[in-house]
Structure 1
Amino acid sequence: MAQETERPSKSLHRMLSRDGNPSMDNLAAIFGAITKRLGVSLQVQDVQAHA
């Protein structure tokens, strides 16, 4: 994962820990590596909350 995301493995461990707070750039890199490895695609959809 570190090689595919071009992030140090220690940084990945830290950001994905319980107290981690990954940036959107880091999450995008992680999701990109996962989707490439699994051969799937992710789709983002806006969902309106019902009051």
Structure 2
Amino acid sequence: MLIYQVPSERDILQRQKEALEWQIAHDINEKDRSIHLDALREINKALQSNT
């Protein structure tokens, strides 16, 4: 199980979100896709709590 350390700065979170969304759209390996989706969920939670 991976533990994600999510940054607190909103602009960094937004850039990471955009990068992960691009990567998920291009992932071929299902394990990589799963890891990236988990990270994106954590970033989305952090973005919602920062608003």
Q: Shorter-chain TM-score category? A: 0.3 to 0.5
The structure whose residues are more often helix, as a share, is 2
Larger radius of gyration: 1
**Normalised by the size of structure 1, how large is the TM-score?**
0.38
Q: Greater relative contact order: 1 or 2 (C-alpha under 8 angstroms, separation 6 or more)? A: 2
**Normalised by the size of structure 2, how large is the TM-score?**
0.38
